[in-house]
Amino acid sequence: MKEALSLEKAPALIAFFSAGVLAISITYDFGYLTYLGLSFSETPTTLADHIRSSLVWIPSTIIMIFGMLALELLNRRIEQGMTEEELIKTSPTPKLTAWFRDSPKYPIMAFALFIPVSPFIGIDLPLQAWMFGLVVLWTMLHNFFFNHERILHRTTKLFYLASRWVPAVIIFVSFLGAIAAEKVPDGKRYVFEMGENKKTVVLARSYDKYYLVWNTEAQAVEFLSASSVTAFYPLSEPKANKSSKSDSEKRAAS
């Protein structure tokens, strides 16, 4: 009976998972394109393109989740599986232990409050700092919004969890896309052949009907139609030039 119920729920779970992956991919692409000064109205992306972008963020996300899980399991092993209250009660100095375990949150909260102030005092923080700080700041605001027993009593657990984690995930994933876009100008250069013309650019993204590239000369993004591109390959120095250089260096040394 239980197996039959689980099989019946399988299509719904697959649909929910697929919708979640698509939503996260769109959020990732939003951050990516926004950092490059583009929007969805300017880029002819399709649903297939957004699903394909999941191949970019899923591997790094899996590695990150695995690392966090490994740290959590290691921490539980060190603490011998005891809860926070048990650790404090069994400590020879309960007050000091409680303060010590609670103390890391204060500098993190101070940093999160500093994030929106930093542009006004001329401090340019990296995107990673903004991502971490805004996620923490939203968590602080959420704690403030629900910091009342009556509000918690009238709020369903599903709404509470969704309102807490969905915005945090949106902030995190969109900044992941922006961080990836930040690395585009320094990316690997490719030679695109379009008939008799050749163009050396940085390949940013490969979509279904076009290529999003970074023109190093114009310092701007360009769209190359996939139908007009006959071939593209990484820019590399010919082996003949390398061998001639090594020969000339040996002659100069001798």
Q: In DSSP terms, which residues pair with 189 in a beta bridge?
A: 202
Residue with tokens 């969109």: 174
Q: In DSSP terms, which residues pair with 223 in a beta bridge?
A: 212
Q: For residue 88, how many other CB atoms are within 10 A of its CB? A: 19
* Sign of the CA dihedral with 98 first, then 100, 101, and 106 last: positive
Question: What is residue 229's three-state secondary structure?
Answer: coil
Least confident of 88-92, 110-114, 249-253: 249-253
Least confident of 62-76, 79-93, 174-188: 79-93
Is pLDDT at 254 greater than 60 in this prediction?
no
Predicted confidence band of residue 115 (pLDDT cuts 50, 70, 90) = very high
- Please say whether the beta carbons of 140 and 112 come within 8 A: yes
Percent of the chain with pLDDT over 70: 90
Residue 113 makes CB contacts below 8 A (sequence gap 6+) with 137, 140
- What domains lie within the chain, and their CATH numbers? 12-96 (no CATH), 104-177 (no CATH), 186-253 (2.30.30)
**Global pTM?**
0.79
Q: What is the pLDDT of residues 125-161, one digit of tens each?
A: 999 999 999 999 999 999 998 888 888 888 888 899 9
Predicted confidence band of residue 239 (pLDDT cuts 50, 70, 90) = low
Closest by CA to 224, choosing from 197, 192, 195, 196, is 192
- Determine the distance from the C-alpha atom of residue 178 to the mean position of all C-alpha atoms in its chain, rounded to a whole number: 8
Q: Can you give the length of the chain in residues?
A: 254
